[in-house]
Amino acid sequence: MSRPFLPRSGIEQQPAALDRRAVLGAGVGLVTTLAIAPARASSELAAAIRGFTGGAEPKTGKVTLDIAPLVENGNAVGVEVKVDHPMTPDNFVRDIAIFTEKNPSPDVAVFHLSPKMGRAHVVTRMRLATTQNVAAVARLSDGSTWQDIREVIVTIAACTEE
């Protein structure tokens, strides 16, 4: 006994409009844009940074904020901050602070350093409420301040207030 021919849904399948190279190119473009484009601080983030710096505008440079540009879960995001500056008794990094743009509290952490530490380098984890800018600011013994700001895309938020 033969089976009768039954048409499928009547919808013809079209080949995908994007090939693998197009998708790969778009992904590389997105990552390049995130890595190269400097993040801009919101007014709330800028106000928190000004509170730490005593109103001074931090310079860009010396500080390297290492944080993933895309995190799946905002509950435990790894953060590393390095400051390219000597740690001598007369010339050292006094403080490193981390700030967020959209968390309930923008002040995440302040690390107090001394020349005895040998290098200005901190590693921690933090929670991120949603996609936002994260800033690391260093205050040197001469009173100058330096910063690095990165945008972090968060797919599963943390720090939600109910």
Whether residue 16 lies inside any domain: the answer is no
Whether residue 127 lies inside any domain: the answer is yes
Whether residue 97 lies inside any domain: the answer is yes
pLDDT of residue 20: 63
**Domain extent for 112:** 40-156
pLDDT of residue 38: 42
Whether residue 140 lies inside any domain: the answer is yes
CATH number assigned to the domain comprising residue 63: 2.60.40.2470
Report which secondary-structure segment, H or E, holds 95. strand 93-100
What CA–CA distance (Å, rounded) separates 109 from 97? 6
What CA–CA distance (Å, rounded) separates 116 from 122? 14
pLDDT in tens, 116-132: 989 999 999 999 989 99
Helix, strand or coil, per DSSP, at residue 32: helix
> Is this prediction's pTM over 0.75?
no
Whether residue 3 lies inside any domain: the answer is no
Whether residue 33 lies inside any domain: the answer is no
As for how many domains the chain has, the answer is: 1
Count other C-beta atoms under 10 Å from residue 151's C-beta.
17
CB-based contacts of 2, cutoff 8 Å, min separation 6: none
pLDDT in tens, 2-61: 665 555 555 555 555 556 665 555 555 544 444 444 445 578 889 999 999 999 999 999
Whether residue 45 lies inside any domain: the answer is yes
pLDDT in tens, 11-25: 555 555 556 665 555
Whether residue 7 lies inside any domain: the answer is no
pLDDT in tens, 79-117: 999 999 999 999 999 999 999 998 888 999 999 999 998
